[in-house]
């Protein structure tokens, strides 16, 4: 069993702890926005450790859209590299945990469709995009069988 290494960012680590320790009944929204968050459990591409990353909840059918915005920071978040190296994740959405596979979306039309969904779910993504010159990575996560 791989070791779990929590996020070095206090507010992120604390959200993961509350969300998971409450079984998905507390700490499930982003601070004052009240908008829903999911927890993506994945594997570090260098350490092999278990990593847990809260992201905004953007649904697309049975799956989720994962947006590597990192608040419009100039660099991609590290979890993006982890998903590129190992597409297998678990997604906790409130009380439900589902094993999923992720796929990075590069097709322009598909990206545009998913971006609309993302902004509808979490309008600040549009401001984050305006803040950075990088192309914000987008992944889809699709069910790989219920746990
Ligand atoms: N971030 C987003 O990008 N999009 C969102 O929609 C989003 C929503 C959100 C909601 C709630 C919340 O609490 C946080 C939210 N965040 C969102 C922030 C998100 O959870 C991440 O904190 C953020 O995207 C930064 O991701 P990161 O993977 O860069 O995290 C950093 C802080 C981190 O954990 N760094 C670790 C460290 O020790 O510095 C490394 C983690 C890691 O995966 N290491 C790899 C390993 O092998 O273990 C090696 C990494 C390498 O060098 O390749």
Over residues 36-91, the pLDDT tens digits come to 999 999 999 999 999 999 999 999 999 999 999 999 999 999 999 999 999 999 99
| Residue 7 alpha carbon, nearest atom of ligand 1 | 34
Pocket test for ligand 1, best of 45, 53, 74 (most atoms within 8 A of CB): 53
CA of 51 to the centre of ligand 1 (A): 9
CB 79 near ligand 1, within 6 Å:
yes
Query: Which residue among 6, 7, 20, 121 is best mutated to probe the pocket of ligand 1, counting the most ligand atoms within 8 A of its Cβ?
Result: 7
What integer best gives the mean pLDDT of the chain? 96
pLDDT at 146: 52
- Tell me the pTM: 0.96
Helices 124-131 and 108-121: crossing angle in degrees, nearest 10, is 130
Q: How many domains does the chain have?
A: 1
Name 53's bridge partners. Answer: 40
Burial class (CB in 10 A: 0-12, 13-18, 19+), 39: buried
Q: What is residue 136's predicted lDDT score, i.e. its pLDDT?
A: 98
Q: What angle do CA 64, 67, 70 make, to 5 degrees?
A: 145
Residue whose tokens read 């990575």: 137
- Answer whether residue 116 is part of any domain: yes
Please name which of 105, 122, 102, 123 lies closest in space to residue 114, comparing C-alpha atoms: 105
Looking at the CA of residue 125, tell me the nearest atom of ligand 1: 6
**At 84, which CATH number?**
2.30.110.10
Domain that holds residue 107: 10-146
């Amino acid at each position: 069993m791989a070791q779990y290494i929590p996020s070095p960012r206090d507010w992120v680590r604390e959200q993961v702890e509350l969300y998971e320790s409450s079984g998905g009944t507390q700490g499930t929204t982003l601070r004052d926005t009240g908008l829903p968050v999911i927890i993506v459990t994945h594997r570090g591409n260098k350490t092999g450790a278990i990593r847990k990353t809260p992201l905004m909840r953007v649904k697309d059918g049975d799956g989720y859209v994962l947006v590597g915005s990192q608040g419009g920071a100039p660099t991609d978040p590290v979890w993006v590299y982890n998903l590129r190296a190992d597409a297998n994740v678990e997604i906790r959405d409130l009380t439900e945990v589902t094993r999923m596979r992720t796929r990075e979306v590069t097709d322009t039309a598909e990206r545009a469709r998913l971006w609309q969904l993302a902004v509808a779910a979490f309008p600040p993504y549009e401001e984050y995009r305006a803040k950075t010159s990088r192309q914000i990575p987008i992944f889809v996560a699709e069910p790989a069988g219920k746990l």
